[in-house]
Amino acid sequence: MDDQDRLTKTFLDLLRINSPSKNERGVADYVKPRLVALGFEVEEDDTGKHIGGSAGNVIAFKRGNAPGARSIFLCCHMDTVEPTSDLEPVVSDGIVRSRGNTILGADNKAGIAAVLEGVEQFLACSSSHPDIQILFDVSEEIGLLGAKNLDKSKIRARLGYVLDTGAPVAGVVVSAPSHESIKVEIQGRAAHAGVEPEKGVSAIVAAANAIAKMKLGRIDFETTANIGVIEGGKARNIVPDKCIVRGEARSRNEDKLAEQVRHMTDLFAAEAAKIGAAAQVQVTREYSGFRFTKDDEVVRLAVEAARGIGIEPELQDGGGGSDANVFNEAGIPSVVLGVGYHNPHTPDEYISLQDLRKAAQLVASLLNSACKCASHDQHV
Ligand SMILES: [Zn+2]
């Protein structure tokens, strides 16, 4: 089987393994023997037990033989969003799609296939290699649970690459926002809506008044906010005494994030108080942001790797969170790399086999660049 056939087969095999969050067992069982065959020490941690999932994070390490090379880790998540049941990939004109009734799951199985193939290709044609660590983690899509539960002392590499964003291939996400989630519980007073509505205090009205005055959506180029869920009330004829609102705010600027969260929190408190209700607001940090420049080593290595396969990479500001947020918070410089898929999390998700091949080449090129660091260092 030539490399291209092997890559396509790996990718299609992975797509056919149903693996929504907390059900990654099939993918873990598929990748572990592949990593062992490539000479990696492979372990699976006990995250599955902690989060009620069927598999833990797969952590693989291969000791390098190139003195002075940068040790790097490559990370992809094994879970996908849903719907996935009956997922059957369709390949036509070099494009892989679902049949339209499910997502495809190229997010993030294109990443896993590219890592397995890129590492195999590199090891087959290079006599020296850096320390390579591979993390295939679980339940990324439901709050980065795999990365958050990973014992960070198990990360033995100095620089991290999370292959978990779409087109273009080799795009480098150099920044990401911090993210706060907001849960508001508004307490009013129940009353019969027809007989004595004057005695009631509507928690829904308090929530509505606050939300109507709230700045939401794209606040500025680095800040966003949303109210995503609102629940409340028991019956049409009862003034609702309780309303729960869930929202979020994100920003790549911590001051702006704090200001936006304060704006939202204050409005809920003020509008509730105006009509005699009370709002209890709980703010939870989901993850913290990061920002690198083109001069940071983790970015320089990615740029050199992309150029090594003839791509001048785009340096992008990210709007979402990823496992890279968690690793950066733990002090391990990490960026996100583009794998080339389009329309993730939708039935229109697709990827071209040509882009998938480039993503695998990027992985090989990254290992090559990590090796070359050794000789650079001798000159500086
Ligand atoms: Zn993803």
Question: Which of 79, 137, 248, 271 is an active site residue?
Answer: 79
Q: For residue 161, is it left (φ>0), alpha (ψ between -120 and 50) or beta?
A: beta
Q: What are the sequence ranges of the domains in the chain?
A: 3-176+289-379, 178-287
Q: Is 349 a catalytic residue?
A: no
According to the model, what pLDDT value does residue 378 have?
43
Q: Is 79 a catalytic residue?
A: yes
State pTM to two decimals: 0.89
Give me the tens of pLDDT residue by residue for the chain, a chain 380 residues long.
677 799 999 999 999 999 999 999 999 999 999 999 999 999 999 999 999 999 999 999 999 999 999 999 999 999 999 999 899 999 999 999 999 999 999 999 999 999 999 999 999 999 999 999 999 999 999 999 999 999 999 999 999 999 999 999 999 999 999 999 999 999 999 999 999 999 999 999 999 999 999 999 999 999 999 999 999 999 999 999 999 999 999 999 999 999 999 999 999 999 999 999 999 999 999 999 999 999 999 999 999 999 999 999 999 999 889 999 999 999 999 999 999 999 999 999 999 999 999 999 999 999 999 998 754 444 43
User: Distance from the CA of 323 to the center of ligand 1, in angstroms?
Assistant: 9
Hey, is 346 helix, strand or coil? coil
Q: Please tell me the CATH code under which domain 3-176+289-379 is placed.
A: 3.40.630.10
User: Distance from the CA of 327 to the center of ligand 1, in angstroms?
Assistant: 15
Q: Are 326 and 75 in contact (CB under 8 A)?
A: no
According to the model, what pLDDT value does residue 1 have?
67
The whole-angstrom separation of Cα 254 and Cα 153 is 27
The whole-angstrom separation of Cα 71 and Cα 45 is 21
Question: Which of 45, 140, 241, 329 is an active site residue?
Answer: 140
> Of the candidates 128, 147, 183, 143, which has an alpha carbon nearest to the alpha carbon of residue 324?
147
Measured between alpha carbons, how far is residue 80 from residues 104, 137, 203 in Å? 9, 11, 37
User: Distance from the CA of 161 to the center of ligand 1, in angstroms?
Assistant: 13
User: Distance from the CA of 147 to the center of ligand 1, in angstroms?
Assistant: 13
CATH classification of 178-287, choosing from 3.40.630.30, 3.40.50.1000, 3.20.20.100, 3.30.70.360?
3.30.70.360
User: Distance from the CA of 173 to the center of ligand 1, in angstroms?
Assistant: 13
Measured between alpha carbons, how far is residue 190 from residues 197, 231, 279 in Å? 9, 16, 15
Q: How many CB atoms lie within 10 A of CB 328?
A: 23
The whole-angstrom separation of Cα 365 and Cα 169 is 13
User: Distance from the CA of 114 to the center of ligand 1, in angstroms?
Assistant: 14
User: Distance from the CA of 311 to the center of ligand 1, in angstroms?
Assistant: 22
The whole-angstrom separation of Cα 131 and Cα 157 is 7
